[in-house]
Chain A
């Protein structure tokens, strides 16, 4: 057993929830992520933006090991991600993820979708799990849909269920992978509102999104990625008003 450098330097402080050091990832010959360094403190809200194919989704999928990195270190909640299965399961229990295409389980009711993780992973008694699930459904404003199936809900409702499903696991960190990209314009707001509420309650969030309004109002830090690198990161005010790099300027000029 080795002790990590993080351990020695910051024993008194609150440990960062995510720490990525010199991480690289390849798909075959293609270098998707190059020398990524990122520290996320508990309670921090980070928005990652960048053109498609820049590796931003891959980066957050590495954090709960949906993708495997080849070099460098990723430490989540004090546990380093290695091939150790038990550690991976432990990390996934603590990290919630919301997908672009919701990925609700179509064969289960909304309530069953929400209680699945707590019952099977956290070993919560069913009754308790259902109570918690109903609380979270209430929080995302769809408690009345609990007995329906995902296919009967609109996209925006489905995405709010997906957020509630992650919250039921009581995660320390939430990852959002373009949560509004697959939604019709009128549904984007209802999902963003839920996310803003969540941010106000102090949830640690890493959000990949093109919603710059959301970034401005909620983020503590905005990161711009291109060609698998973190090109620039800054406070939202600075990032939007005074981008440092040419690539950032170009990107912002295209989407704003």
Chain B
């Protein structure tokens, strides 16, 4: 041991480089970057050569050209004479439409099923469990095909449309609803509702402040709820209580008037909502179960009423567990909405796909898809980080 002392002794600067972690680290990182850079360059060079050979112009210039294809449903006015850019915008809006409605319905349905799973009623709880098992274990694409096929094969043509209630028709062209005839009263009612919501927010702040200062409670939520029902109703009455409806009418082979929800949209929405709500139900169940019995007992021991226990102790803790995975399910729903392309709903991916096929701009098209969905994902994770930070438990 004594002998090799000098041999082992070495100053900080004189370590052979494969034994020096700093230099080793630099070496590995350099190699990694070199490999990634090399492969990227190789692919890039090949792509350049291929594009040149096939004389495909790169860049996003094609966006300004005429799209010359029709899109079946659109929120904004669109015709085949519009540009590719506008067609893509139509697709993006359709994606947002299905995602928005889907997220709301999924949250509601998922919560109901999650709570049902915990019900003391054996029948309810088992039915919920069965629903979750079945929905989770069947590919969502197959579910979409199923609902879409059901629409086309099980429902009759418009002439024999099902007519379960006045004002609703179900046929293989979609769901057709009667909607109120346009009238100045309806926008006014909307404004009234918005005003109530804003007013309610301030009322809530004020009541909290008053509670802090004086200890007196003010039922801000109930007052707001009442106002939200009464104020629009008053506005409606003030406008003379219009009741005219825009009824769907069978004209030839199709309906006119009313509001038509296309089979593609309905099938996509049903598939996404049923599939995702099974996952949401599991999240809700786990969130509620994560709260120890002790928490509820402690809250009741202070003398809080059940409603307050829920509001002040259970929900804040359960939401902390529920919200992060819930957000990622919502993101999954949005990403799964790209399956629209398989049943012909004109979402962003479907429109981009058509664009790629027409123009051959594959790289730009795929890049657009990736950028748009990365934007959704990154904004979702920003929200999640903000939420996690806000609700993080302070622990040592």
Interface residues of A (CB under 8 A from B): 1-4, 7, 11, 15, 75, 77-80, 82-87, 90
Contacts and interface: CB of A to CB of B under 8 A. Distances in A.
Given A78-B8, A85-B21, A85-B24, 13 more contacts: A1-B9, A1-B10, A4-B5, A15-B1, A15-B2, A79-B8, A82-B11, A82-B15, A83-B12, A84-B10, A85-B19, A86-B19, A90-B8
A90 B22 CA distance: 18
A15 B1 CA distance: 9
B20 interface: yes
Interface of B: 1-2, 4-12, 14-16, 19-22, 24
A7 B22 contact: no
Contacts of A4: 5, 9
25 contacts: A1-B7, A4-B5, A7-B5, A7-B9, A15-B2, A15-B5, A78-B2, A78-B4, A78-B5, A78-B9, A79-B9, A80-B8, A80-B9, A80-B10, A82-B15, A83-B12, A83-B22, A84-B16, A84-B19, A84-B20, A85-B19, A85-B20, A86-B19, A87-B8, A87-B19
Nearest to A90: B8
A196 B170 CA distance: 87
A77 B8 CA distance: 10
Contacts of B22: 83
A86 B10 CA distance: 12
A215 to B, nearest CB: 29
Nearest to B15: A84
Given A84-B19, A85-B19, A77 B9 contact: no
Nearest to A11: B2
A80 B10 CA distance: 7
A3 B9 contact: yes
A125 B10 CA distance: 33
Contacts, number: 55
B19 to A, nearest CB: 5
Given A85-B19, A85-B20, A1 B1 contact: no
Contacts of B21: 83, 85
A2 B1 contact: no
Which interface residue of B2, B9, B11, B14 has the most chain A CB atoms within 10 A? B9
Nearest to B16: A84
Contacts of A1: 6-7, 9-10, 14
Contacts of A87: 8, 19
B8 A2 contact: no
A78 B1 contact: yes
Contacts of A77: 1
B285 to A, nearest CB: 29
A98 B25 CA distance: 30
Contacts of B6: 1, 3, 7
Nearest to A75: B9
Contacts of B24: 85
A225 B5 CA distance: 30
A82 B1 contact: no
A84 B5 CA distance: 15
Contacts of B5: 4, 7, 15, 78-79
Nearest to A3: B6
A120 to B, nearest CB: 19
A4 B22 CA distance: 24
Choose among A83, A86, A90 the residue with the greatest number of B CB atoms under 10 Å from its CB. Answer: A83
Contacts of B14: 1
A80 B21 CA distance: 16
A254 to B, nearest CB: 23
A14 to B, nearest CB: 9
Nearest to A82: B12
Contacts of B4: 78
A2 B7 CA distance: 9
Nearest to A12: B2
A75 B7 CA distance: 13
B15 A2 contact: no
A15 B6 CA distance: 13
A200 to B, nearest CB: 24
A82 B8 CA distance: 11
Nearest to B3: A78
A36 B197 CA distance: 66
Contacts of A15: 1-2, 5
Contacts of A84: 10, 15-16, 19-20
A15 B10 CA distance: 17
A85 B20 CA distance: 6
Contacts of A7: 5-6, 9
Contacts of A11: 2
Nearest to B7: A1
Question: Which 5 pairs between the two chains have the least Cβ-Cβ distance?
Answer: A78-B5, A84-B15, A79-B8, A84-B19, A86-B19
Most A CB contacts (10 A, CB to CB) among B8, B20, B21 go to B8
Contacts of A3: 6, 9
Contacts of A86: 19
Nearest to A86: B19
B6 to A, nearest CB: 5
A195 B7 CA distance: 34
B290 to A, nearest CB: 24
